[in-house]
Amino acid sequence: MASASATGKLSREEFRRQKDLDAARKAGTAPAALDEEGKPINPHIPQYIAQAPWYLDTGAPSLSHQRIPEYDRSADKLDNWYDRGAKAGPAAKKFRKGACENCGALTHKRLDCPERPRRRGAKFTNKDIAPDEVIQDISTGYDAKRDRWNGYDPAEHKKVYDEYAAVEAARQRLREEEIDKQTTTDLAAVRKVAKAGKEKGEGKDDDFGSSDEEDEDADKYAEAADAVGQKLDTKTRITVRNLRIREDTAKYLINLDPSSAYYDPKTRSMRDNPVKNVTPEEAIFAGDNFLRYSGEAPEVQKLQLFAWNAAARGNDVHMNANPTQGQLLHQEFQQKKEQLKDMNKVSILAKYGGEEYLEKAPKELLLGQTEEYVEFSRTGQVIKGKERAMTRSKYQEDVYVNNHTAVWGSWYDMASGEWGFACCHSIVHLSYCTGEAGKEAAHASSTKNLLKSTMSNSTPPPENVPASSAEDRKKKAEELFSRARLGEGEIVLDKNRLAEAISDEKKRKARGEDGDDRFGKRQKGSQGGSHEVTQEELEAYRMNRRMMEDPMANYKDTEV
């Protein structure tokens, strides 16, 4: 086949030999080529079909590239879908560690709980623990992923079909009852009119009466009666079309701007106001929504809804046929509803009690008085008492890390244009709080102070100031902003002081003091001001500080 010779370039002799072999196979003098399965390949197949592309060519005659590859379709069923609402066995009776604190299920956390947040969660009450959900792993294939009806239950449509069938059956039954009632009424009226005419004729002359005249009178009065099975008055049978009055301006002609309110020609409705800059009181047409929700329109909608619900339950109520009856029935329904509500309330209170909790003070007293005493200043700050507690969400709030008393982003450095912590003025995220000492260090190392110190060093000393004072200021500035003080460069530590500082740091750790107690507060025995941190104390603090990112920080050897 051609696919066997397509792997490399053939010489002229090999190409001629291949042509002769193909011609012999087509003539039937040479056996046909066999594929990898041992099946003969039809030699009359065109070359562009028999020749495999370069990315599927195996170097042997084959037609596998023209066949659909076989793969396991058991995992690609279109009816594979999640079992919605499936529960994994019965619910637990006690709260389990790691479960949802709200409902007690192990398959989700409190933030992802689908139930309503309880006043006291299952973690504290051990009651009404929800069963665990079934977590399924559905592997869908190409067809299942792109099937828009995947996961749809056809039994849901049967409910809709049964509902419409029941409504249609009820409507047919009501129609038959109305036809029977209308037929009985019309025939009784015809007989009554015919009987009255007959008695009138007998009073004139009994001899000249005939059955033909009686039949004509009956037909005359029967023609004036209503048609059987139709609610139609024959005396006012007029063909009236839904035509608008020509003097009225159509809605779509009030404002011809294309960007104005949308007009639906099919329903002849325009919901919004076509002219926005005109108030609804002065506008000719303010939109269908303005008419729909103004005046007595909401009451009419409630009345229409009551009529529809009553007719759906088999009652003979119709808004257009008999509006007075519908309004009276609606008023009666509202009164019975209120009475039933009061009866239920009285029965529940009589059975369970608790009527004293329903009695509350007027709204003016509830909003104006409280048992808690609070004093406010002229600026609105609380001087004495406790402020009203704010409503907290289920998400974590005011979480402070690394001994900080403020959140990240609560302070902005105007000099460097960076955000940081307001408690220590640190612009390093997740840094340890240093308190007032950090504020002083940040203030000393700010760009403004550095610029002032540079300008003071660059300016020559005044003539009347001795050179020794200028040299002292320069030396003090170098000590203040030296690399050694900032923790950089080569630092020489005293071993005895370092050992003493490490011992003090371990004692401080044992006492459980915070980090700012070591550097921010005044040392015992110091006369005034904040304590100057030495290089040995800083090194001891670094050696004994707790590494939060260390996975072995909380490890304790219990076997010793």
HEC profile of 238-267 = CCCCCCCCCCCCCHHHCCCCCCCCCCECCC
pLDDT at 526: 45
Predicted confidence (pLDDT) at residue 117 exceeds the cutoff of 60: yes
Computed over every residue of the chain, the mean pLDDT equals 77
Mean pLDDT over residues 126-137, rounded?
90
CA 439 to CA 406: how far, in whole Å?
13
Enclosing H/E stretch for 413? strand 411-413
Predicted confidence (pLDDT) at residue 514 exceeds the cutoff of 60: no
Q: Minimum mean pLDDT among 60-64, 374-378, 403-407: which range?
A: 374-378
Q: Minimum mean pLDDT among 2-16, 148-162, 241-255, 297-311: which range?
A: 2-16
Burial 434-455 (b: 16+ CB within 10 A, else e): bbebbbebbeeebeeeeeebee
pLDDT at 339: 94
Helix and strand numbers, DSSP H then E, in the chain? 16, 4
Q: Are 129 and 92 in contact (CB under 8 A)?
A: yes
Using alpha carbons, select from 476, 540, 532 the residue that is nearest to residue 506: 540
Per-residue pLDDT tens over the stretch 399-452: 888 888 888 888 888 777 788 999 998 888 888 898 888 888 888 877 555 555
CA 271 to chain CA mean position, Å = 29
Copy the structure tokens of residue 392.
Answer: 């907290």
DSSP letter at 356? G
Coil, helix or strand for 269?
Answer: strand
Predicted confidence (pLDDT) at residue 545 exceeds the cutoff of 90: no
Predicted confidence (pLDDT) at residue 515 exceeds the cutoff of 60: no
Q: Are 413 and 421 in contact (CB under 8 A)?
A: no
Mean pLDDT over residues 457-483, rounded?
60
Q: Is 331 exposed, middle or buried (0-12, 13-18, 19+ CB in 10 A)?
A: exposed
Q: Minimum mean pLDDT among 227-241, 292-306, 348-362, 382-396: which range?
A: 227-241
* Backbone Cα Rg of the chain: 48
CA 560 to CA 333: how far, in whole Å?
82
Predicted confidence (pLDDT) at residue 151 exceeds the cutoff of 60: yes
Contacts 24+ apart (CB under 8 A), 356-364: none
Coil, helix or strand for 555?
Answer: coil
Per-residue pLDDT tens over the stretch 210-242: 455 555 555 544 555 544 444 444 444 444 455
Q: Are 168 and 122 in contact (CB under 8 A)?
A: no
CA 341 to CA 364: how far, in whole Å?
27
CA 127 to CA 123: how far, in whole Å?
9
Predicted confidence (pLDDT) at residue 83 exceeds the cutoff of 90: no
pLDDT at 20: 92
Q: Which residues contact 389 (CB under 8 A, 6 or more apart)?
A: none
pLDDT at 78: 66
Confidence of residue 523 (pLDDT cuts 50, 70, 90): very low
Handedness of CA 103, 109, 110, 115 (dihedral sign): negative
